[in-house]
Amino acid sequence: MRTTLSTSQITGTFLDFYRDRGHEILGDSTLIPPQGDPVLFTSAGMHPLTPYLEGRPHPLGRRLTGVQRCLRTTDLDEVGDDTHLTVFQMLGSWSLGDYPGDQSLRWGYELLRDGFGVPPSRLHVTVHDGDPGSLETWQRLGVPVEILGDDDNWWSNGPTGPCGPDSEIFIWTGDGVPSGTPSTTPSTDDRWVEVWNHVMMRYRRHPDGTLTSLEQPSVDTGMGLERMAMVLQGHSSVFDTDVFEPWTRTVSSLWTPSRLLYDHLRSSVVVIGDGVHPSNTGRGYVLRRLIRRILTTLWRDDPSRTLLDLPTDPIASTVDHYGLPIDPLYVHDVLVYEERRFGALLRRGRPLIERLLLRGPLTDDDYHYLHDTHGIPRDLVEEVVTAQPRQ
């Protein structure tokens, strides 16, 4: 299928749909969780709403919608496949103790079919075996449904907190009629793309692992925006969607096509835009790692490559798309400053490491020596082994 909806239009369609059904639109969408939150970055649309899903009244009411930027470092190794990104946006709708799960599923179906024009014949859903209500709703809507267990259809945002059975919606992106089902063919048939998750938040998981029922059950839904854009725009990868166009065009003409570069450059811009500076701890270190992966990727093929050559256009496009309160030139300066720093570290570290490597593979003692005496951390040593500094 192919629609002409841009990513911004998809967002608008989603938010309008829920606003028309009494949902207030959440404003702030920063990657930085509220103070006191132990998590470094917001990793799910519902994350900032955790206390409200557990029962605290939300100042905007019981029906909410919004678009939340998220960062998942757990997906770093998957970046480069068709659908995983480090920073992405999640469209969400929430019933905080208001309407029940079956209403959420019916609205979800209506929005996909009428709002986004997805033919119902391309839909397939999964439900948890302990959630007969969702099963019945999908059966009434006539959508093929599959019943699975905790491994596939139970959602939580961590070891403790609100959680519950979920219902995942897949869209068939292949030509012709769908074949197989998402659960029987996920590894062999990526033409089934999961686009939306409706979580029936009915329980709270306690630190000792026990579950208790939430006094007021809620519904939390999340739709990966770039993934939805990929499906609706008829592409086979998120990197082919309109939001990546400025990055794919610039990076391929300057250097070489690389999904890692598209992803990490765009992600770094968003992280910097949310006020993070490269550093050796916490959020700053995640940013530093992203930029260093960009540089090692660039320098692996040609050590003379430099981020000085990166124009500000793609940075400005990402800043604009995310509504970041930052000057693209400043973002460029941060990237270039990190490049200089990393280049200097590599020039200093490489001879030391090469000398040690003459004796054989590096030992734990070598890593300790490099870290304690020369301030070169283990992951940097590993990067030095694969990277060339800029001459």
Residue 388 to residue 391: CA distance in whole angstroms: 9
Residue 238 to residue 225: CA distance in whole angstroms: 10
Exactly one of 44, 195, 276, 310 binds ligand SER (CB under 6 A); which one? 44
Please, which residues have CB within 8 angstroms of residue 299's CB and are 6 or more apart in sequence? 305, 387, 388, 389, 390
Helices 259-273 & 328-357, crossing angle to 10 degrees?
120
CA triplet 203, 204, 206: central angle to 5 degrees? 145
Residues 150-189 that bind ligand SER (CB under 6 A): 155
Is 217 a binding residue for ligand SER by CB under 6 A? The answer is no
Is 94 a binding residue for ligand SER by CB under 6 A? The answer is no
Is 199 a binding residue for ligand SER by CB under 6 A? The answer is yes
C-alpha distances (whole Å) from 308 to each of 57, 162, 327 are: 49, 46, 16
CA atoms in the 13 A half-sphere facing the CB of 136: 7
Q: Which is nearer to ligand SER, 157 or 388 (CB)?
A: 157
Backbone dihedral angles phi then psi of residue 256, each to the nearest 5 degrees: -150, 150
* 126 and 168 Cβ atoms separated by less than 8 Å: yes
Taking the complex as a whole, the smallest distance from the CB of residue 199 to ligand SER amounts, in Å, to: 5
Q: Which is nearer to ligand SER, 165 or 343 (CB)?
A: 165
Q: How many residues bind ligand SER (CB under 6 A)?
A: 10
Q: Which stretch binds ligand SER (CB under 6 A): 7-15, 44-52, 143-151, 271-279?
A: 44-52
**x/- letters, 235..274, toward ligand SER (CB under 6 A):** ----------------------------------------
User: What is the DSSP annotation of 241-309?
Assistant: SGGGHHHHHHHHHHS---HHHHHHHHHHHHHHHTT----SSHHHHHHHHHHHHHHHHHHHH-TT--GGG
Taking the complex as a whole, the smallest distance from the CB of residue 244 to ligand SER amounts, in Å, to: 22
Strand, helix or coil for residue 61: coil
Q: Which is nearer to ligand SER, 199 or 251 (CB)?
A: 199
Q: Which stretch binds ligand SER (CB under 6 A): 54-62, 187-195, 217-225, 265-273?
A: 217-225
Is 349 a binding residue for ligand SER by CB under 6 A? The answer is no
Is 46 a binding residue for ligand SER by CB under 6 A? The answer is yes
Is 229 a binding residue for ligand SER by CB under 6 A? The answer is no
Looking at beta carbons, which residue is closest to ligand SER?
222
Is 222 a binding residue for ligand SER by CB under 6 A? The answer is yes
Q: Which stretch binds ligand SER (CB under 6 A): 10-18, 128-136, 215-223, 250-258?
A: 215-223
* 307 and 390 Cβ atoms separated by less than 8 Å: no
CA triplet 28, 276, 293: central angle to 5 degrees? 120
Q: Which stretch binds ligand SER (CB under 6 A): 38-46, 107-115, 271-279, 309-317?
A: 38-46
Backbone dihedral angles phi then psi of residue 205, each to the nearest 5 degrees: -95, 130
Is 197 a binding residue for ligand SER by CB under 6 A? The answer is yes
Q: Which residues bind ligand SER (CB under 6 A)?
A: 44-46, 92, 155, 197, 199, 220-222
